[in-house]
Structure 1
Amino acid sequence: MSTPTAQADPSSELIPTAAAERQALIERWADRHGIDAARRLAEAEDLADAVAAEITPDNTVDTYAKSWRVWARFCAFADLPEREGSRGALVAFVAWMLREGQQNGKGYAPSSADTHLAAAVTGLRQRGVAVSGDDQAAARKALAGLEVKLLQAGERRGRGQAVGADIDGLYAIARSCPDTLAGLRDKALVLTGFHYASRAQDPAGLQRGDVTLHPRGLVVAVLTGKTKHSVRSAKIGYATDPEICPVHAYTTYRERLVAEHGQRWAAPSTPAFVGIDQHGHITGGLVPDSVTRAIKRISARAGVPISWTGHSLRIGLASVGRQRGKDAIAIADQGGWARHSRSMLGYMQRDDGWDDNASAGLT
């Protein structure tokens, strides 16, 4: 009796194990349900694989690939087989990462080690390696304990959380942007990004047609999110002070763009935020890295005490929104967080720890 075979991507390193497992599964289906049903089930599996590949963000794929390379370096260092995910191997992996895992021989920050551990486990499972939840939990417990040891020794690794944008910074940026197309673009990029808690990839992915004018402000269709919460239509109202009004800033920038470079830039398919070289020439759309660099440059030009990063606008909406008494659910919906998101709650911060202190005013 012949059985249907699953199609596989010949370029994938996962083929030998995955294809063999798929074929064994199909043979069990054929014995249980017959050839035709097994073929339909195999086609459904192929569809499920295609959907999973389609919905996995590119940066997640890159993280998995990078973390697998870290795992491979560890296995070569420890002389362990790559395709075994035992409790001891995972705990040793965590300890090695914190001790000397980076290419330069330094230890990773615990947050980076946590990311690599999770992605390495995913990579092992993709390659047909059984990794138990208990073994992964043991590695996470070891990581948490070792992180405490680092803190007790006075060692804090990693860049820490980016500084959040604030209202004073928005005023400084608005006043420092020159009255040029590039300056107007910079002003609009920051003021609108703050109001919908943008990640760097969000303005880079916006087209002109994704930002529409409404009688009460702007509606920004954010389509670059990684979750169902982050894909959203964010509403940005007119500000009380025109100097830092995101709606005025965006419409003024777009009007100048069309006036100086032609009506074709009014087309809905053109980038919402364009790249502009030092000579004033349009270079096309922005990419996430160029958005991050732009925000750093814009904040530095404005004399913001600590330069903002690509994540500062996102942190700023959560932090300032909480300071101003905005409802956490409203903040989550505007910024594309899941309601009661741990990361969002972490952004809702007071930098000095005095005003927002649990003991303040109790005695």
Structure 2
Amino acid sequence: MSSELHHRPAVPAEIHAAWAARHGAEAAERLAAAENFADAIKASTVPPNTTDTYRKGWQVWERFCTTQDLPLTEGSRGALVAFVAWMLDRGRKTPGPGGVLGYAPASAASHLTAVVVGLRERGHPVSKDAQSEARSRLEAIATRLAKQGERRGRGKAPAADLDNLHRIAAACDDTPTGRRDLALVLTGFHFASRASEVSGLLLADVTVHPRGIKVAVVSGKTRRSVRTVAIPYNSDEPPICAARAWERWLQVYGTSATSRPAFPRIDRWGNIGGAMAPDSVTTAVARVAQRSGVPIRWTGHSLRSGLATEGRKNGKDPLTIAKQGGWAPNSKAMLGYMQLADEWDDNAAAGLRRLGG
């Protein structure tokens, strides 16, 4: 075991004492050091956006406990249910859309997960019954709000579609920024990217092949989303061919330093900088879509939902779509995107007619 483990670990005193009673003081020290090592490994492998989400959720919990004068390390059934009700009623620090102080149910659910994780990591695990009760109350309150006509949150990102990709292709000029923008949008669409995945790409991660390009997604959010994706040349729709857009971008960007970001920042004077942050990718997609006359505001996630939707419209197998986008085969998120394509065509009320007679 590494010498990094040989320091006094910060584990709960009662656990350390129990280990010492069973195995002796020296073994207890080494077991506790291994716990620290495991925590360090976990910290180095959890995606930054997940860590940020947990941090923000814990801050909301801290505000709740302070305002309600409750202990920070007690995730009892009552405390968690009260937390859920508080979040949906007045948990935001500043009013959201429409002046509402309550969180959207999806945000409240995310914060609840962060608190459960945070309490466990701090040595205060939450019982399954307490978690289940809190989630049930959250769902019940959310249903009541919906019945009252309240709509909170941004909802699903509008899906990118082929018609509007053509609009973007026609609007992107031949400047370095125009070529980068088109390559970013088309490449991101064709591997169902998250903004963080586009942000994390290096030149070395995108390689040109005789039949198209391959994208090695190494900054995926989950085990399945770390993947290598093939994007073929599109001879049927050349203006929205991601492989050709990538090649045109390389003509102005160059290929010598493969450690450079695949999609760097470019300022108004055409100076090329470092990697775009995920928020910058989202902003770029929205800006390009708006400039091109796309009627609905796209976000970075529109590229991800778009491939699932358009793939379904074109009759692609769900397993093929899942592999391309890094979804689990029966992912609820992916199936939800595909339902956008099915709601009119694969519809129980569509084309009904009398039989016989």
Same fold (TM over 0.5): yes
How many angstroms apart in 1 are the aligned matches of 2:164 and 2:208? 26
1:243 corresponds to which residue?
239
Percent of matched pairs sharing the same residue: 55
Range with greater deviation from structure 2 (297-306 or 54-63): 54-63
CA RMSD of aligned residues (A): 1.9
Q: 2:249 aligns with which of 243, 249, 253?
A: 253
Q: Is 1:217 aligned to residue 212 of structure 2?
A: yes
Q: Is the 8 A contact 1:217 1:247 kept in 2?
A: yes
Q: Is the 8 A contact 1:208 1:266 kept in 2?
A: no
* SS of residue paired to 1:349: helix
How many angstroms apart in 1 are the aligned matches of 2:29 and 2:120? 24
Please list, as runs of the form range in 1=range in 2, the aligned pairs for 1:122-271 lying within 5 A after superposition.
122-240=117-235, 241-258=237-254, 265-271=255-261
1:333 corresponds to which residue?
323
- Any stretches of 5+ residues in structure 1 without a counterpart? 9-18, 259-264
How many angstroms apart in 1 are the aligned matches of 2:77 and 2:251? 60
The Cα shift of 1:39 comes to 4.3
Q: Is 1:361 aligned to residue 351 of structure 2?
A: yes
1:81 corresponds to which residue?
71
* SS of residue paired to 1:266: coil
Q: Is the 8 A contact 1:171 1:243 kept in 2?
A: yes
Give the direction of change, closer, same or farther, for the CA distance of 1:208–1:134 in structure 2 (3 Å limit): same
1:14 corresponds to which residue?
none
Range with greater deviation from structure 2 (268-277 or 137-146): 268-277
Q: Is 1:114 aligned to residue 104 of structure 2?
A: no
Range with greater deviation from structure 2 (310-319 or 128-137): 128-137
Q: Is 1:44 aligned to residue 45 of structure 2?
A: no
How many angstroms apart in 1 are the aligned matches of 2:89 and 2:196? 33
Q: How many residues matched?
A: 343
Which amino acid in 2 is paired with 1:119? A
Q: Is 1:29 aligned to residue 19 of structure 2?
A: yes
Q: Is the 8 A contact 1:5 1:26 kept in 2?
A: no
Which amino acid in 2 is paired with 1:299? A
Q: 1:273 aligns with which of 263, 266, 269?
A: 263
Which amino acid in 2 is paired with 1:256? V
1:318 corresponds to which residue?
308
How many angstroms apart in 2 are the aligned matches of 1:230 and 1:119? 22
Question: In the TM superposition, what whole-angstrom CA distance separates every residue of 1:185-218 from its partner, at most 9, and x where no partner exists?
Answer: 1111111111000111112111111101111110
How many angstroms apart in 1 are the aligned matches of 2:182 and 2:190? 13
Question: In the TM superposition, what whole-angstrom CA distance separates every residue of 1:38-92 from its partner, at most 9, and x where no partner exists?
Answer: 4443343232122111111222222222111111211222222222111111111
How many angstroms apart in 2 are the aligned matches of 1:160 and 1:89? 28
* SS of residue paired to 1:348: helix
How many angstroms apart in 1 are the aligned matches of 2:148 and 2:333? 27
2:98 corresponds to which residue?
none
Q: Is the 8 A contact 1:6 1:42 kept in 2?
A: no
